[in-house]
Amino acid sequence: MEPGEPLAPGESRPGAEAATAPRWEEAKAFYDNLAPKKKPKSPKPQNAVTIAVSSRALFRMDEEQRIYTEQGVEEYVRYQLEHENEPFSPGPAFPFVKALEAVNRRLRELYPDSEDVFDIVLVTNNHAQVGVRLINSINHYDLFIERFCMTGGNSPICYLKAYHTNLYLSADAEKVQEAINEGIAAATIFSPSRDVAVSQSQLRVAFDGDAVLFSDESERIVKAHGLDRFFEHEKAHENKPLAQGPLKGFLEALGRLQKKFYSKGLRLECPIRTYLVTARSAASSGARALKTLRSWGLETDEALFLAGAPKGPLLEKIRPHIFFDDQMFHVAGAQEMGTVAAHVPYGVAQTPRRTAPTKQTPAAQ
């Protein structure tokens, strides 16, 4: 065949197939890059750091709660079905969950085959009929939440251990107390009084010490005998580690993930940062707190000893995604300064039981 000679029907020029193949591969690669990326595979629960979050912690559902309270469950379900294509607004735990996912992206870049990442489980006593709206909301915000536990009005607490839960966050104080009684790290989460921007690239978690990371041993001394006896007790027991509190295991899990970045030479660029924010005074009672953490093989990136001063102003500077405290007085102070605060109902400070500020009450789960 001469160059330029017209082709007969069904005839192709020599070498045409070979020339077409690479062009097709290039086009396929181009369009594959345009297609939505496949989400990562969910880790096995026993290998991950599992964070269980209630629907009313993750999303704002105030109107839905009003309908449920005033008109009952049937009208509530009907409303949810009618609005299932309308995503919920973000709730108090939303920035925390987004920060967990940011850490996961970094971990998967460094350790593609590791399942030692955060795994977020949506745990709710909602009916399954509401599930479509929750799924639509999760997809709307591009959240990676594959595990759901919807119990249709029953308490979900009995399922938390089966999910290997490291931390449970809810807006329902009764459910949180139930979880604490079962030995599960848990806290009632509250929305701040005003919005404050938080880091998009670094997870920041702040902890109170006594009755949160540590047991309530020292707080019992204060309540029974006053501050002077407390200082004497701490000095005498400076080298005796405090017993662990309900959130010690969660700090331990954060520390384990931090070390995965440290081992890659990324200590200064680590996307997880932890803070001890305590009412203890450094000179009189700070050493025992730090030595306790050391005895556990743990540390916090920053330790702030306030000697009884309000915590809110310091938290406003830290801008954590979440702050845990056992006393509602400190939770309320954090809220006022724009911090998402979570109440840990553990220890002697809960007797008599403290309640949420009247201006900011948590929604039911």
Buried b (16+ CB within 10 A) or exposed e, 64-90: bbebbeeeeeeebbebbeeebeebbeb
The amino acid occupying position 125 is N
CA distance 208 to 308: 12
CA Rg, the chain, in Å?
Answer: 26
Q: Read off the tokens for 161.
A: 């251990």
Return the active site residues. Answer: 208
In three-state secondary structure terms, 186 is: strand
Burial of 192 (0-12, 13-18, 19+ CB in 10 A): middle
The Cα angle at residue 9 between residues 4 and 11, in degrees rounded to 5: 65
Whether the upstream peptide bond of residue 92 has omega within 30° of 0, thus cis, is: no
* H and E: helices and strands count for the chain: 13, 12
The Cα angle at residue 169 between residues 168 and 175, in degrees rounded to 5: 80
